Amino acid sequence: MTSRTATKKKPTQSGYVPCACRDCMEIAIAGPGEKKAYCAACEEAGCPDHQGVAGMSQECRAPGAYGDDDAC
Ligand SMILES: [Zn+2]
Ligand SMILES: [Zn+2]
């Protein structure tokens, strides 16, 4: 019996956090002491500018956030 299912390790190292953007599944890199960060795509799309701001859209504006990229 040598068949084994490889278990993927989640990136738990400090510095890697899930993107703070609500709809984004990317991994972002937080600086030391930071608890949340946005991935590069969200930064570029301006998500940090409207996410968490009352009265502003909370949706992700980064391209591909909703599974544009079907190629698995
Ligand atoms: Zn993101
Ligand atoms: Zn976003």
How is the chain split into domains, by residue range? Answer: 15-49
Distance CA(56)–CA(72), nearest Å, equals 32
Ligand positioned closest to the Cα atom of 17 = 1
What pTM was computed for the model?
0.64
Percent residues over pLDDT 90 in the chain = 36
Distance CA(70)–CA(47), nearest Å, equals 22
Res. 72 pLDDT band, cuts 50 70 90: very low
Coil, helix or strand at residue 49: helix
pLDDT at 18 over 80: yes
Using the mean position of ligand 1's atoms as its centre, give its distance from the Cα of residue 66 in Å: 11
Ligand positioned closest to the Cα atom of 26 = 1
Using the mean position of ligand 2's atoms as its centre, give its distance from the Cα of residue 54 in Å: 16
